[in-house]
Homo-oligomer: A and B are copies of this chain.
Amino acid sequence: MQPRPELPSHVPAVVVGAGYAGLSAALSLQDRGIDVLLLEASDRVGGRVLSEQRSSIVVDHGGQWVGPTQQRLNAWAKRFDCPTFPTWNVGEHVDIWLDGSKSRYTGIGPDQGAGMAEYLEAIDRLNDLSSRIVLDDPSSTPELEKWDSETVYSFLDRTVGSGDARRRVALAVQGVWSCEPRDLSLFHLLFYIASAGSYEQLMETEGCAQERRFVRGAQDPALAVAAALGDRLRLGTRVLGIEHRDDTAIVHTRDGSVHTDRVVLATPPPATAKLEFDPPLPMSRDRWIHRSPMGDVAKVHAVYSTPFWRADGLSGQATLYGQHPVGVVFDNSPPDAEQGVLVAFVYGDRLRNWLALEPEDRRTAVVDTLRHVFGEAAADVVDYAEKVWPTDQLTGGGYAAVPAPGTWFEHGTAGWRTPAGLIHWAGTETATEWNGYIDGAISSGERAAEEVAAALLASATVG
């Protein structure tokens, strides 16, 4: 192994974490002509976005979609020439109900599905309530304390009379927040809806968050930014702690230390919790980090020689209620559809139960589910891949961190993303728009870079 080049003794700005947020902060600083160093513990960029070439197809193990209102990710796709294509979405979706019965549908759910009418009412109510979130300053939302004091479970129990409708909302919560309704507050749910624009933006494909995919995988723009950063990006450089004083900060890594004027931390909360801060972080930021556990999700890809479900008029999309390990399935076939790919999402309670199985049984459980949905042809898997995000040590889970009930009310003002002296905060969890998404990660990096640039300018003017 070649020794890594030594760290410089001083750079104006250091960014920690080369997921989309850190890449964005570093790129944005570089675009402004500010010398920056981006430090990444792992040997790759992309964070919770990870594309793998497997024989003839690209498998996206993490974040994968881009929607039409995700302006920043679309801008990167354009700037770095990363082609996209529409998510496979033609045909009927399958809904497997509690009793195992199967409905085929198009749109948001089966017209005659159990609880559908009340489910649609619940969606309207959530959209209505979310319009009261003050998106620019969530902590000033008038109903903050009340909404952050109850879990989504309690809210549904209180306001949705039909148990079947509650189950439908629960599946949506699992799918979008990768946790259970008991784990998050009504406030965080509503904030997230407001941040995306609407409940439908979160859930749907055409015109919404799941509209398009990247031809070369969703890591493609990240790799392009890494190339643009050149030697300003240091992979394999684990940050251990940050000393920060009035006018300078020292970033300590396993490979030495670097002095800097400003730091952008773009690490997920569990990674940030591991760092040593001297002086310690302000209490609210510390509490926010410690009260924001990551979601629990695994993505499982099953590859077939053809997208056989299309001959049946099926889209490859499915929603599953009841005891199946999988909650939602999408068609993740490549643009040319030379092979067929199904991606199964396993999250929340389902993930915990599924992880208790032996690896071989995990695979059987997923493939059996796909057979139940799409027929016997689903047994003929030619390639199979699992990515269990909670066991990924540097990210600690996915898709995003989910603040526990009370966190927004108690620490939203000072703990969400207020700089701590010379330390600025990026990460999709700090985004106003598309919080929790790749797009939010990029905007969070841009916002942090703007803070840093303004601070450096101010101190240059004073100096």
Contact = CB atoms under 8 A, between A and B. Distances in A.
A161 to B, nearest CB: 15
A410 B273 contact: no
A154 interface: yes
A171 to B, nearest CB: 16
A276 interface: yes
B280 A287 contact: no
Interface string A119-151: 000000000000000000000000001001111
Nearest to A153: B149
Contacts of A296: 287
A182 interface: yes
**Chain A interface extent, by class:** 35 or more
A182 B390 contact: no
A405 B183 contact: yes
A351 to B, nearest CB: 9
Nearest to A241: B274
A181 B154 CA distance: 14
A212 interface: no
A421 to B, nearest CB: 15
Contact of A349 (B150, B393, B410): B410
Given A151-B150, A405-B405, A270 B290 contact: yes
Contacts of A406: 151, 179-180, 182-183
Contacts of A294: 290
B149 A404 contact: no
A364 interface: no
Given A273-B273, A274-B276, A283 B355 contact: yes
A154 B186 CA distance: 12
B149 A150 contact: no
Interface string A409-451: 1100000000000000000000000000000000000000000
A2 to B, nearest CB: 24
A273 B272 CA distance: 10
Contacts of A149: 151, 153-154, 181-182
A19 interface: no
A293 interface: yes
A391 interface: yes
A94 to B, nearest CB: 28
8 contacts: A145-B182, A280-B391, A280-B393, A283-B390, A290-B293, A290-B396, A352-B410, A404-B404
A167 B290 CA distance: 27
A183 B276 CA distance: 26
Interface string A273-317: 110100010011011001101101000000000000000000000
A283 B392 CA distance: 10
Contacts of A273: 270, 273-274, 290
Interface string A248-274: 000000000000000000000010011
Contacts of A276: 274
Contacts of A396: 286, 290
Given A151-B150, A154-B150, A293 B291 contact: yes
A150 B404 CA distance: 12
Contact of A182 (B157, B274, B349, B405): B405
A410 B179 CA distance: 10
A158 B149 CA distance: 13
A283 B390 CA distance: 7
Looking at A284, A287, A349, the one whose CB has the most chain B CB atoms below 10 A away is A287
